[in-house]
Amino acid sequence: MAGKKIRVTIWNEYRHEKEEEPSGESYPEGIHGCIRNFLSECDDLEIRTATLDEPDCGIPDEVLDNTDVLMWWGHVAHNKVPDDRVEYIRNRVYNGGMGFIACHSAHHSKPFRALVGTTGNLSWGDNCHEIIWNLKPSHPIAAGIPDHVDLGLEEMYGEPFYIPQPDDLIFGCWYDSGHIFRGGCTFTRGLGKIFYFQPGHEECRSFYNPYVQQILKNGVHWVAPNDFGYKNPCEAPYVKPVV
């Protein structure tokens, strides 16, 4: 893939930042704007953004067809995303190998639920002190990350977290509320790779944390599709003996 850029689409619900005080202050260009800014430091990425209130939620077929990695941030308007967009995303991941990164409250987004196959339910609580522990330093997503990252104030997302057993559990979260969380984990579905990462409440400033930025940069590169040796066939291909 030398020389070929990874085409990233950052999708943001973009409601909080326009309407509420602390979010607007934290992310004056929107969360997608903040993410775009730091991802732009990577030369090999070609980045666009998309938001809920654009036509087709900003992700018509032609955009998704030309997206290698889709990042997703959503919270209060999960239900506004039309089912046909969800199904299209799922097919792109499954059969096209598009990568998917679910940020923070995207655990309850339609695409994440459809991809991993569970509800994504979890316990939540008030903002509190969060520390992220690096459980798998050999994983490319953990490259350059120390044994722990003191994140400061974040929204508490705790166990039980209703996800399938992840392929890789890379980061574990500690909260001073007494909770823990499998906050950085990966899944594979068909040809595609998925990464869920906990930080990113609209009222907090985690997307400005240099380690969070590094992890998301690593994540984009890790979920990006392989140069596949084959494409998914039809639903139930009849095959002849190969010997």
Find the binding residues for its own copies in span 117-136 (CB under 8 A).
Answer: 117-119, 121-125, 128-129, 131, 133-136
Distance (Å, whole) CA 18 – CA 218: 29
Between residues 63 and 142, which has the closer beta carbon with respect to its own copies?
142
Which amino acid belongs to residue 34?
Answer: C
The one segment of 33-41, 49-57, 67-75, 189-197 that binds its own copies by CB under 8 A: 189-197
Q: Is the dihedral of CA 189, 195, 198, 202 positive or negative?
A: negative
Tokens 């869920």: give the residue: 196
Between residues 24 and 158, which has the closer beta carbon with respect to its own copies?
158
Between residues 7 and 189, which has the closer beta carbon with respect to its own copies?
189
The correct pick among 22, 33, 60, 190 for binding its own copies (CB under 8 A) is 190
- Residues 58-97, mask of contacts with its own copies (x by CB under 8 A): ------------------------------------x--x
SS (H, E, C) 189-206: ECCEEEEEECCCCCCCCH
Q: What is the closest distance, in whole angstroms, from the C-beta atom of residue 216 to its own copies in the complex?
A: 15
The correct pick among 25, 28, 40, 160 for binding its own copies (CB under 8 A) is 160
- Asked whether position 148 contacts its own copies by CB under 8 A, the answer is yes
Q: What is the closest distance, in whole angstroms, from the C-beta atom of residue 229 to its own copies in the complex?
A: 4
Distance (Å, whole) CA 172 – CA 202: 21
Tokens 């594979």: give the residue: 188
The correct pick among 80, 178, 208, 210 for binding its own copies (CB under 8 A) is 178
Distance (Å, whole) CA 15 – CA 23: 9
Q: Is the dihedral of CA 160, 190, 184, 88 positive or negative?
A: negative
